[in-house]
């Protein structure tokens, strides 16, 4: 299966201009669990539909209070507070809320989603989240260095814009085949890319969970990978934390995603599979299914 998920240029990002007739609709659900050993769940997620709307405050003619247009975009986010750092739960929550708020405020100023540059908007929302988490970490000594991974999909019509920083992964199931869409931003992954480690060694390396590119942390600045690809009817997108991907094989992920279940059941079964496999980390699975509008 060939899927064009090449990085989007940040200098000349493609403008989104998609008619309603071309748009797909999404169904999505997420499940999360603290795992088998951790008392606190540092994972957070967001599923949101972005709609055009008008609220009537006062009118001289009879009018409805709210008018809602078509869903113009959807946003799906998963964040994993960095293990071993103070305030991981707060960092992931703050990152998700900051991204949501930034996109909402930006759209109120820029207009309809199809007239904005989705790639630039997504990238800027990562930088906004990074600043929010970094600044919050500097305000209290107990939160110094707090950080989080974040993977987000902004769906506009039939186009998916995927942003990624850290080791929370995104997968695409298409025509019975599973494709991993993200590369882990970890020391082990960098060693793999340089040919110092092979795949098996990287998966077992003691530095496989040491994140090199994340939201917040001890140094301001995040460099998210931004990619885009067209969605098709029947596609399923999985965004998950390493509490799932570290213990459940790609074959088992594909098998569960391939079952004709609602996203809510699929996500809960993925989390249960991680629990059954003995996951000691927090576990989150967000499943998005694409259908004809």
- The predicted-structure confidence for 110-128, as pLDDT tens digits, reads as follows 555 554 588 999 999 999 9
Say which residues have a Cβ less than 8 Å from residue 130's Cβ, sequence separation at least 6.
Answer: 95, 215, 216, 220, 221, 222
Output the six-digit token pair for 85.
Answer: 């750092």
Beta strands per DSSP E along 166-224: 169-174, 177-180, 215-216
Distance of alpha carbon 224 from alpha carbon 244, whole angstroms: 22
The pLDDT, as a whole number, for residue 276 is 98
Q: Is the pLDDT of residue 6 over 50?
A: no
Closest listed residue to residue 47, CA positions, set 291, 286, 244: 286
The pLDDT, as a whole number, for residue 42 is 94
* Between residues 71 and 127, the one the model is more confident about: 127
- The predicted-structure confidence for 269-283, as pLDDT tens digits, reads as follows 999 999 999 999 999
- The predicted-structure confidence for 134-183, as pLDDT tens digits, reads as follows 999 988 888 888 999 999 999 988 899 999 999 999 999 999 999 999 99
Number of other residues whose CB lies within 10 A of the CB of residue 214 = 28
Q: Is the pLDDT of residue 12 over 70?
A: no
Contacts 24+ apart (CB under 8 A), 52-58: 52/112
**Partners of residue 9 on adjacent β-strands:** none
Beta strands per DSSP E along 200-282: 215-216, 225-230, 236-240
Distance of alpha carbon 199 from alpha carbon 205, whole angstroms: 10
Distance of alpha carbon 78 from alpha carbon 48, whole angstroms: 12
pLDDT band at 84 (very low <50, low <70, confident <90, very high): low
pLDDT band at 10 (very low <50, low <70, confident <90, very high): very low
């Amino acid at each position: 299966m060939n899927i064009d998920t090449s990085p989007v240029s940040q200098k000349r990002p493609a403008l989104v201009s998609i008619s309603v007739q071309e748009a797909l609709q999404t169904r999505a659900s997420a499940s999360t669990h603290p795992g088998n050993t951790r008392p606190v769940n540092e994972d957070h997620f967001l599923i949101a539909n972005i709609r055009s709307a008008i609220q009537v405050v006062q009118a001289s003619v009879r009018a409805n209070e709210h008018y809602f247009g078509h869903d113009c975009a959807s946003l799906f986010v998963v964040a994993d507070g960095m293990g071993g750092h103070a305030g991981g739960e707060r960092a992931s929550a703050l990152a998700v809320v900051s991204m949501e708020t930034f996109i909402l405020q930006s759209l109120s100023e820029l207009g309809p989603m199809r007239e904005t540059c989705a790639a630039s908007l997504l990238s800027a929302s990562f930088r906004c989240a990074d600043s929010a988490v970094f600044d919050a970490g500097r305000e209290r000594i107990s939160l110094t260095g707090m950080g989080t991974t974040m993977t987000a999909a902004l769906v506009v019509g039939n186009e998916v814009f995927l942003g990624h920083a850290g080791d929370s992964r995104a997968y695409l199931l298409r025509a019975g085949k599973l494709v991993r869409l993200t590369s882990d931003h970890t020391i082990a992954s960098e060693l793999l890319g340089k040919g110092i480690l092979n795949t098996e060694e990287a998966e077992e390396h003691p530095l496989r969970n040491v994140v090199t590119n994340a939201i917040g942390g001890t140094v301001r600045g995040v460099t998210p990978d931004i990619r885009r690809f067209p969605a098709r009817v029947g596609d399923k997108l999985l965004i998950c934390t390493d509490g799932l991907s570290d213990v459940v094989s790609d074959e088992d992920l594909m098998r569960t995603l391939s079952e004709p279940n609602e996203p809510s059941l699929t996500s809960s079964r993925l989390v249960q599979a991680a629990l059954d496999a003995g996951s000691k980390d927090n576990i989150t699975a967000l499943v998005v299914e694409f259908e004809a509008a």
